[in-house]
Structure 1
Amino acid sequence: MKAAIAGASGYAGGELLRLLLGHPGFEVGALTAASSAGTPLAAHQPHLPQLADRIIQETSGAALAGHEVVFLALPHGHSAAVAAELPAGVVVVDCGADHRLTDPAAWREFYGGEHAGTWPYGLPELPGQRQVLADARRIAVPGCYPTSVLLALFPAFAHGLAEPDVVVVAASGTSGAGKAAKPHLLGSEVMGSVSAYGVGGLHRHTPEMEQGLSGVAGVPVRVSFTPTLAPMSRGILATCTAPAAPGLTRAAVREAYESALAKEPFVRLLPEGLWPATAMTYGANTAALQVTLDERAGRLIAVIAIDNLTKGTAGGAIQSVNLALGLPEELGLPLTGVAP
């Protein structure tokens, strides 16, 4: 099947291309972008020699026509208009934010403008979500931070282990901010320094976390989210805590998580005593997770590591597309990372 990538010159686009080149079910079709149109892909993705001479086209419905799958790795607010030009039978995968939220008011508050509508949410691990994605022709890929938080906490809320009042502190690498030049992301600003941003409930991924966790819990879940920028190119390490349910024990927490994740191919519950590190997941469509109970504070603690570009974006997108097309869910997706 032919797959087109809009936004092929960006970080998410490059990761999609890396994974698609190793996927036996896909042939890479049109590559499009905005400001980089007319230039060879090698100028933007030199790590992809198989596609080095391909010329990037201007993003349009005509350029993306004739493909079975179209991936939109575009900034928020740009996907809806492009998707509207594509036939209903094409699988369109939005790696941006346009179609993730179900509440138009939340979209207006955190993103501004009119809400473009809601598509099936591309996180197969959530309870019941694989059935939703089967045969889907429009898919909204989660944000990278929500991917980590939802994977870390859905077992807790599915099993009634925690109260609906979540605190998340997460560190992300600089690729999460995209490829556009920004002074605060210069090497001299980032190296040797960790900084907080979007503090006080301002980060745009907050309502997405609340939406996903509330859907699992069956009651509204409040999330206080503090993101931090770490001096690394890839990765997210998220520490997620919530008040523990009365009478909860460490053994019960472990048992519930083992049960919830036993058949998940991409979420690894680490052996007791081993804690996640971002280096465990580089280049892999996997999540490394550990959970415990702080008995003194009465809080459940889940710590998770993912690669924000793989499981957090491109890998999660292809995983969802595999399900939508009736392919094996693990097809073309790396389980092994790169170390050191």
Structure 2
Amino acid sequence: MTYQVAVAGASGYAGGEVLRLLADHPQLDVVAASAHSQAGEPITAVHPHLSAYGDRRFCETTPEALAGADLVVMTLPHGQSAALAAQLPADVKVVDLGADHRLEDADAWEAYYHSPHAGTWTYGLPELPGGREAIAASNRVAATGCYAVATTLALRPLVEAGIADPNDIVVVAASGTSGAGNAPKKHLLASEVVGSMSPYKAGAHQHVPEIKQATGAASLSMTPLLAPMPRGILSTVTAKPAGDVSAAEVRAALSKAYDAEHFVRLLPEGAWPATASTYGTNAVHLQGTVDLDSGRIIVCAAIDNLGKGAAGQVVQCANLMLGLPEASGLTVNGVAP
């Protein structure tokens, strides 16, 4: 059986990656791809790499343009999804890549996003305990934030196993420039980015409450870094151990959580994640150890921020919501060099 999918906000990087994955999906057909200022333009004028859409144009982002689909994917800026979703029929399934419906705590939403809370949908991370079943049973799913995917999957098994102190978590995570979208901005110019790294939103990144909600962390300090690469996230999570913890126990906690997971790979001992190994995939690469000097637990996670951190996550959730094989249209194998 084939299902019809509409993509709202398809002119951005994440929207373009959704279109790319759906073009080769055996059971999902794109019937509408909407944009704002690019409405009416050929899709290939914005995404020249998507030759499968050579005869297609962006439509306007209206409920009428989207409502006829079996499933709607929203890749709109934060704060813009809720109003549009409220105008869609209740039986139309929606996966929202924006943050509008991720948080359960309205106060946390307002503190980080500075607007009224729109309510909570099912959280779209299948690898969380019970997550897969909840997504499959839902018509409304809030896909996970990109930093939150990598950090949550690195951290949650440590807290769940009781080997990490949930009150002392530190995250330093580097992201490629595509995470900031494709709007022209001076600080994202090649001459500003190439050969340089810089922190941003230090101490106040909006994914912090989402990560705490998904992992059980009570206190989390996060410093995001802008890296001179187009795509990818490398998240380094350190935690104070709850007692004496060995590197073998850290790896055992990760192995117990993910050995049965298709998209999450605990690398062989001594091998460390690299963002390039996940490009174009829905894969997560993990490695863990204990710091020889401080005794702190260290777990590193690499993802493609446009893959598992965005479009891949969306397709994974869509597959579950429509009763399709979860890995359909997705890959764990990257490209090299």
Q: TM-score range with shorter-chain normalisation?
A: over 0.9
- Equivalent residue number for residue 155 of structure 2: 153
Instruction: Give distance in 1, aligned partners of 2:163 and 2:229.
Output: 33
1:178 to 158, 177, 181: 181
1:275 to 272, 277, 282: 272
Amino acid at match of 1:274: A
Amino acid at match of 2:209: P
Deviation by residue 1:159-200 (Cα, 9 ceiling, x = unmatched): 11100121000110000001111110011100111111111x
1:206 to 194, 205, 208: 208
- Equivalent residue number for residue 289 of structure 1: 286
Alignment pair present for 1:229 and 2:231: no
Alignment pair present for 1:320 and 2:317: yes
Of 317-326 and 234-243, the range deviating more from structure 2: 317-326
Q: Give how far 1:295 is off.
A: 4.3
Instruction: Give distance in 2, aligned partners of 1:55 and 1:18.
Output: 15
Q: Percent identity?
A: 57
Alignment pair present for 1:191 and 2:197: no
Instruction: Give distance in 2, aligned partners of 1:296 and 1:128.
Output: 37
RMSD: 1.0
Amino acid at match of 2:186: P
Q: Give how far 1:52 is off.
A: 2.2
Alignment pair present for 1:309 and 2:306: yes
- Equivalent residue number for residue 68 of structure 1: 70
SS in 2 for 1:146: helix
Q: Give how far 1:135 is off.
A: 2.2
SS in 1 for 2:123: coil
Check conservation: 2:232, 2:305, Cα contact below 8 A: yes
Check conservation: 2:246, 2:289, Cα contact below 8 A: no
Amino acid at match of 2:220: V
Instruction: Give distance in 2, aligned partners of 1:282 and 1:296.
Output: 33
Check conservation: 1:70, 1:93, Cα contact below 8 A: yes
SS in 2 for 1:163: strand
Count of paired positions? 334
Q: Give how far 1:116 is off.
A: 0.7
- Equivalent residue number for residue 118 of structure 2: 116
Q: Give how far 1:114 is off.
A: 0.9
Amino acid at match of 2:66: L
Amino acid at match of 2:268: P
Alignment pair present for 1:334 and 2:331: yes
- Equivalent residue number for residue 50 of structure 1: 52
SS in 1 for 2:235: strand
- Equivalent residue number for residue 12 of structure 1: 14
Amino acid at match of 1:106: A
Q: Give how far 1:53 is off.
A: 2.4
Check conservation: 2:251, 2:287, Cα contact below 8 A: no
Q: Give how far 1:36 is off.
A: 0.8
SS in 2 for 1:335: coil
- Equivalent residue number for residue 143 of structure 1: 145
Of 54-63 and 255-264, the range deviating more from structure 2: 255-264
Query: Structure 2 matches for 1:228-267, cutoff 5 A?
Result: 228-267=225-264
Q: Give how far 1:117 is off.
A: 0.6
Q: Give how far 1:134 is off.
A: 1.6
Instruction: Give distance in 2, aligned partners of 1:240 and 1:130.
Output: 24
Q: Give how far 1:222 is off.
A: 1.0
Q: Give how far 1:104 is off.
A: 0.9
Instruction: Give distance in 1, aligned partners of 2:215 and 2:182.
Output: 30
Check conservation: 2:143, 2:314, Cα contact below 8 A: yes
Amino acid at match of 1:266: F
1:77 to 73, 76, 79: 79
Q: Give how far 1:203 is off.
A: 1.1
Q: Give how far 1:204 is off.
A: 1.1
Instruction: Give distance in 2, aligned partners of 1:180 and 1:167.
Output: 31
Amino acid at match of 2:258: L
- Equivalent residue number for residue 217 of structure 1: none
With the length of structure 1 as denominator, give the TM-score of the two structures.
Answer: 0.96
Instruction: Give distance in 1, aligned partners of 2:132 and 2:28.
Output: 21
Q: Give how far 1:327 is off.
A: 1.3
Instruction: Give distance in 1, aligned partners of 2:25 and 2:52.
Output: 14
Instruction: Give distance in 1, aligned partners of 2:252 and 2:173.
Output: 25
